[in-house]
Amino acid sequence: MPLDNTTAPLIDSFGRKVTYLRLSVTDRCDLRCTYCMAENMTFLPRREVLSLEELAQLSDVFIRHGVRKLRLTGGEPLVRRDVMDLFKDLSKYLQSGMLDELTLTTNGTLLAKYAETLAACGVKRVNVSLDTLDPARYREVTRIGDIRMVLAGIDAAISAGLQVKLNAVASRGAFEDEVDALIAFAHARGADLTLIEEMPLGDTGLDRSQSVLSLRDLQADLAKRWTLTPQRKNSGGPARYMRVEQTGGQIGFISPMSCNFCALCNRVRVSCMGQLYTCMGDEGSVDLRAPLRHSETAVEGTIRAALMAKPERHSFDLDRMAEPAVTRHMSALGG
């Protein structure tokens, strides 16, 4: 496909321009985090997952129609065989100036292996999921994880020159006692920490109404111990940022449950099967696999039609957390 960035941008019916694509490369993961998936997951047959070449073709269409930021997700993107080939292929858009940022969200277990290659592909920063520093609770949250692998991955990423941002899903209970340690850990390494409200995605076997923690409440609690100063920083996502004066670092707050931010939504998500989701909090999706295998024009037309049906806002409700708002697990799109 020719590298041409003169085509019309992707805009939904509310005038929101899509400049950010979150592309899932696999639904598989080497962890089983309690807020993300069930303990005994059934993953997609490999034949139903788009090839790396097809993922690259889809990315090309979105980039040439105005997407400036591309994040690879999973599941866990680094468990996808030969995924570095996709990063290498996509790096040409950074070199041409058509893409501002190529990045990924990872659980960090394989980051030590791939950090230098990612940096060589032009990746400047990575988001690493880390909900606790306690090895026993880490294993409890992830069901099977070894925190030493993640800590080694974070160190390797920093050594490779990558900017690291830690993501932590806020929850009632032990997390509230550990969040100060996470702040200190992140900021001591020059990393930001982003706190995320748990979302009612898929049946994980647990009652989220007992674990969900409003970030409004958590921020108020943090303000008793830390001096928080609002920042104007915009990373292209929904986070609100606060500077922690005692450390000089930043905390991001992503509050889909307690503070709706959909008016500024600039992103869409594509699953590893080629399903386009214009809203994470909505069941609706459209298939891009069939039109991709037909023609580029068919893909573009399908994307534009889907954007015209993009809902104004998500359907999450903080007061209705006991049952999933959508049946899809978080691991299907990587959050």
Q: Is 268 annotated as a binding residue?
A: yes
Give the DSSP letter string of 4-39.
---SPPPB-TTS-B--EEEEE--S--S---TTTS-S
Q: Is 272 annotated as a binding residue?
A: no
* Phi, psi for residue 264 in degrees, rounded to 5: -105, 15
Q: Is 172 annotated as a binding residue?
A: no
Q: Is 105 annotated as a binding residue?
A: yes
d(CA 246, CA 251): 12
Neighbouring residues of 207: CB distance < 8 A, sequence distance ≥ 6: 321, 322
Q: Is 25 annotated as a binding residue?
A: no
Q: Within 10 Å of residue 316's Cβ, how many Cβ atoms?
A: 20
Encode 179-196: b = buried (16+ Cβ within 10 Å), e = exposed: beebbbbbbeeebbbbbb
Q: Is 121 annotated as a binding residue?
A: no
Q: Is 259 annotated as a binding residue?
A: no
Q: Is 41 annotated as a binding residue?
A: no
Q: Is 267 annotated as a binding residue?
A: yes
Over the Cα atoms of the chain, what is R_g?
19
d(CA 329, CA 134): 26
Q: Is 36 annotated as a binding residue?
A: yes
Helix axes of 83-96 and 111-120: crossing angle, nearest 10 degrees: 30
Q: Is 129 annotated as a binding residue?
A: yes
Q: Is 22 annotated as a binding residue?
A: yes
Whose CA is closest to 282, among 165, 184, 200, 162? Answer: 200
DSSP-derived letter for residue 45 is P
Neighbouring residues of 222: CB distance < 8 A, sequence distance ≥ 6: 179, 180, 183, 228, 251
Residue ranges of the binding site: 22, 29, 33, 35-36, 71, 75, 105, 129, 165, 199, 262, 265, 267-269, 279
Residue ranges of the binding site for S-adenosyl-L-methionine: 35, 75, 129, 199
Residue ranges of the binding site for [4Fe-4S] cluster: 29, 33, 36, 262, 265, 279
Residue ranges of the binding site for GTP: 22, 71, 105, 165, 267-269
